[in-house]
Amino acid sequence: MKQAIHPPNAVKPIAPYTPAILTNGTLYLSGQIALDGNGDLHTGDITSETRKVMENVGTLLGSAGLGFEHLVKVTILLSDMAHYASVNEVYGTYFTDPPPAREAFAVKGLPRGVNVEISGIAVVP
């Protein structure tokens, strides 16, 4: 059985996907970008963009009754590996030891021209 997670006040997806799916004690988070509840992008600089993405990840987790400590796997997509250090600086502030398993890599393009997209998998305790 799958349960769709749609955070209140979040922008409705414009493509055929669900923000998060909870099934068998595992929460699968779709990639999050720096959108606010009005559908506006926050891409002024990579630090603030990453912070907004992480806030969106936190909102999805919270909507399922979870927190960052429940993430076990994260994927970070970057528009350019030159952003790697700045993204890590912000990303690291959201975790205590041990942080989740993770990969990060640059891709040719991201939705709406953003610089960072983050998805994840969390486990319900």
Assigned CATH for 3-123: 3.30.1330.40
pLDDT of 29: 97
Rounded distance between C-alpha atoms, residue 28 and residue 31, angstroms: 10
For the stretch 49-101, pLDDT in tens is: 999 999 999 999 999 999 999 999 999 999 999 999 999 999 999 999 999 99
Contacts of 7 (CB under 8 A, 6+ apart): 19, 59, 60, 62, 63
Report cis status (omega within 30 of 0) of the bond before 7: no
| Pairing state between β 101-106 and 71-78 | parallel
Lowest mean pLDDT, pick from 9-18, 104-113, 116-125: 9-18
d(CA 19, CA 16): 10
What pLDDT was estimated at residue 2? 94
How do the domains of the chain map onto residue ranges?
A: 3-123
Q: Which pLDDT belongs to residue 39?
A: 85
- Side-chain-side CA neighbours of 17 within 13 Å: the count stands at 12
pLDDT at residue 23 in the model:
97
Reported confidence tier of residue 8, pLDDT bands at 50, 70, 90: confident
Lowest pLDDT segment from 4-8, 99-103, 105-109: 4-8
